[in-house]
A and B are shown apart, each in its own frame.
Chain A
């Protein structure tokens, strides 16, 4: 035995009071720095499943997957990103491009697992310890913030110049502008979930970006036979859910549709619709009304080989959409180009033919199906003292009479009561006729049902908005009229409805005007429905209830457009017409003869 063997154990004890040189056990955590790029987190309330993170990932670390049995809903694909940490290189590009900013990286970097294949998870769905840690890398603390390009602005006439004429306000994109704008689309398809007609938006945007305008137009007609009209005045639900719109601006889907249509003198040439319909002799369908719903049904039925007969009491047809929208938004010149498609598709038009209850009964005998798309034809009544005075008019009838030619004298000062599109259209039309215009609306401007853009443009054109004003009465004042109103304050509805305007004080304000336009809504006129049919339908608030196939519950009779409950816009009516055509094609409810 050596001497050191005896001494060593005692020498070791001499280190007992010193700091250990070895790694401490149990191991102490060593947190990542504040902006460390660690494991992913996903705020599921914000994620819309657009797949932009997957698209950018250089290493295929991210795959969009179904979460349980989620389905696409409006504005959300229902898919969520799954991250594979065998591939992820922590570059954080997925964070930089995230459309909504829902995806972020925590500063946690340590995770022990016995099976390498389990080193992947769906952030947000699969619970992890770092889900709620405040630190890490996100768009909030990155230098880039968010990677996206701005919208190409639409050239428009200047507000002070455009009020002098009825010339169209919007000028349209150039091919270069359209290509740049269309190329901003990330092809996620969320827009399709919002479009009532489910138009193939990503595909036609790509066609426009590639310069294939004819290809785009053909794609329009798959689900929408009135693309030029929609390209000008659509309510564009699609843009409201666009992934690019969360942190930047939505793709100008409507303007691009308009652009592609504008590239052709004739759309029927592009579609080659004058060739014979796909299949002949499938049956006869009567369609009441030549608005968007009626035209849409007529187009698809004709193209499918049905004999479509469209009836309209007007000499021209076109419905409210074509006639009530003023020239500066939807020029009448485009109407012929559009109707050319329907005529060449083989639809039969019967203008100046008012349909009454006896006709409907006869039609249900003579035709294999009837599609009612008569729309809303009556302007709603408004009861305050003085509405019976001459000089008090209904805005809806005024617009339908095409006042652009100046044949109707509205006087020097005009008052419009209401806050919808009809109110805006009337106000802006009167402005162009040279009048000073005041708009009186009971609620706030944000509560107005009119398109935001229309309100904005009306304000630019210096229309005098008087929100939160309650109409009291209209009196005669010499050659003119005097409108009395009270100011209102908004009272919250305890039941959670929208705030109600309540008169604030006893003070009456009066303004002198020449003409008052009432624009408080339209309603249907179902007088043409025979009683035997009407009593079998479910009719509420003057609207005919239908199922998902636009079927009224009465054999062979379908309905769509504004006469049925719904959003009441053009694209919804077009979708109704297409759905009815599909249902008639599939023949589920086709039993000839009503009696």
Chain B
């Protein structure tokens, strides 16, 4: 594994769990209080120049959002990923827009899609993709897409549907059995 990548965590003052490592690739999980420190040191001391993406997984079962920051070095040869869990309820994550300006856009998207608050991000309340959205943020797993689409768009077009199981049974007269077990409720 890349020595440079290894040093990012070995020279830090706090603990981290390695999720996956490979040639030119390291993915660690840290406590959320250390995220900013690790991101800063990765950029300033270890050449992790580019912020590729910030991703979110809605782990609704654990009541957390798992955020992952994906960084790449200036040569494009190694990738460093930092994951941390944040409570799902009123989720607040510090902005890193002043470290990587591109984060302002990424965080704006996450604010719209998951409702995560990035205090300090000057543009997070501007619409990203959705216009005038007043519902639960749509990428949250508790957002019911079917309910929303039925409520908003209605039965625009009558849906036709045939159940394969019933269609087969009807066509071969399957339930015409000589002695159906009537006491069995099906």
Contact = CB atoms under 8 A, between A and B. Distances in A.
Given A86-B153, A116-B156, A72 B183 contact: no
Contact of A117 (B157, B164, B181): B157
Interface in B146-186: 146, 149, 153, 156-157, 159-169, 171-172, 174-181, 183-184, 186
Interface string A391-415: 0000000000000000000000000
B145 interface: yes
Contacts of B171: 71-72
A16 to B, nearest CB: 38
Nearest to B174: A198
Nearest to A206: B186
B121 to A, nearest CB: 28
A166 to B, nearest CB: 35
B162 A87 contact: no
A582 interface: yes
B162 A66 contact: yes
Contact of B165 (A71, A188, A215): A188
25 contacts: A50-B164, A51-B163, A59-B145, A59-B146, A63-B161, A66-B167, A72-B168, A72-B172, A188-B164, A189-B164, A192-B169, A193-B168, A198-B172, A200-B186, A202-B165, A203-B186, A219-B181, A221-B179, A222-B177, A222-B180, A222-B181, A278-B179, A300-B178, A304-B178, A581-B178
A555 interface: no
A63 B159 contact: yes
Contact of A223 (B146, B157, B177): B177
B168 A192 contact: yes
Interface in A67-96: 71-72, 77-79, 82, 84, 86-87, 89
Given A116-B156, A222-B181, A578-B178, A65 B165 contact: no
A129 B76 CA distance: 40
Interface of B: 145-146, 149, 153, 156-157, 159-169, 171-172, 174-181, 183-184, 186
Contacts of B183: 218, 272
Given A187-B165, A222-B179, A58 B160 contact: no
A49 interface: yes
A-B residue pairs, 4 tightest by C-beta? A189-B165, A218-B181, A300-B178, A77-B164
A34 B122 CA distance: 36
A535 B186 CA distance: 47
Nearest to B176: A582
Contact of A190 (B153, B156, B168): B168
B157 A84 contact: yes
B125 to A, nearest CB: 25
Contacts of B168: 72, 77, 189-190, 192-193
A60 B159 contact: yes
Max chain A C-beta neighbours (<10 A), residue from B153, B160, B178? B178
